[in-house]
Structure 1
Amino acid sequence: MKSDDLWNFALACYATPGVEKACLELQALEMDVCLLLACSWLEARGVRRDAQRLEALKQLSKDWQSAVVLPLRNLRQAWREQAAGDTELADLRRRVKTLELEAERIQLDRLQRVTQHWLPEDGSDDWLNPLCAGVEGDPRAWLNVLRRAASQLGAGGAG
């Protein structure tokens, strides 16, 4: 896997045992999984975090999530029960899920474009913990699952 490819990193990370559950738990806490995956990728690569960088990523993600990803997700989830007994609706629901995944891929691509010139350097590379501010509950254990998976993928180093 190329460490400079956020989409492939996200797929590999998500496929790591325990990460899917962690991501679903974090999503249930209303955390943005795409932003979390991007931040774990930056951490693993040793990219320095600063307030401006983090805020730029948060704003980009918030805008895309609210305008595109969340409406698709909400529609898909709203159809869950009814689609169980309606094959045509179930097919539409699967197609909405495909669109939702494509929207997340685009979000990750946009996050990567913003960060493409951010190189590993001295400074804080803790990108995940600052995302906990204002979150109900304690997501740190789930964030550590994500952090360990990113580290195991060997994304740190050359990009």
Structure 2
Amino acid sequence: MSSDLWSFALNVYARPGVEDACLRLQTAGANVCLLLCGLWLEQRAVTCDEQRVSLLRTLTEPWDAEVVQPLRTLRMQWKTRAVDDAVLKGMREQIKSHELEAERALLSRLEGVAQAWARNAAGSTTWLEELAGAAASPNRDALQVLRVAATGT
């Protein structure tokens, strides 16, 4: 298992079915970085509780709303036009790079908060459901895809 959250996230995301599962969860309103952090915490056998979930959400929500989402929105707006416009295509790739860097910064911040949380023998397998919120119930199969992928890291 990768010890740092960024490496763990890259390894999990590269596994079959994970990108699709993440996009489904994202479309349903879940934050993929938060879910990847939850997977990492489950793999590290860290106990999930309301205070920790709240802390991770409080850290994630403003960064996502003010940094990640505006970059993603702009990138998606340019998708069709960039097909026929080489300059716009290059700019779109730059935006994509900035979006990825913003997600990496968020994962680093999440890791910084959660890294000190002690492991325990019982661990917790509820991080994904808690962090997915309303997106969890209709997407249990997508959460399972993530869990299965994480066991192979």
TM-score normalised over the length of structure 2: 0.93
Describe the superposition over 1:97-156 as per-residue Cα deviations: whole angstroms up to 9, x where unpaired: 000000000000000000111121246442011234333871111011101111221xxx
Equivalent residue number for residue 46 of structure 1: 45
- Decide whether aligned partners of structure 1 residues 87 and 146 sit closer, same or farther in structure 2, where only a CA change above 3 A counts: same
Equivalent residue number for residue 128 of structure 1: 128
Which one-letter code corresponds to 1:134 in the other structure? A
Equivalent residue number for residue 90 of structure 1: 89
Aligned residues: 152
Q: Which runs of 4+ in 1 moved over 4 A?
A: none
Q: Is the 8 A contact 2:31 2:132 kept in 1?
A: no
Q: Matched residues in 2 for 1:137 and 1:34: separation?
A: 19
Q: Percent identity?
A: 47
TM-score normalised over the length of structure 1: 0.90
- Decide whether aligned partners of structure 1 residues 146 and 123 sit closer, same or farther in structure 2, where only a CA change above 3 A counts: closer
* Structure whose residues are more often helix by fraction: 2
Equivalent residue number for residue 6 of structure 2: 7
CA RMSD of aligned residues (A): 1.5
Contiguous gaps of at least 5 residues in structure 2: none
Describe the superposition over 1:83-108 as per-residue Cα deviations: whole angstroms up to 9, x where unpaired: 11111011000000000000000000
Equivalent residue number for residue 147 of structure 2: 147
Q: Matched residues in 2 for 1:111 and 1:136: separation?
A: 20
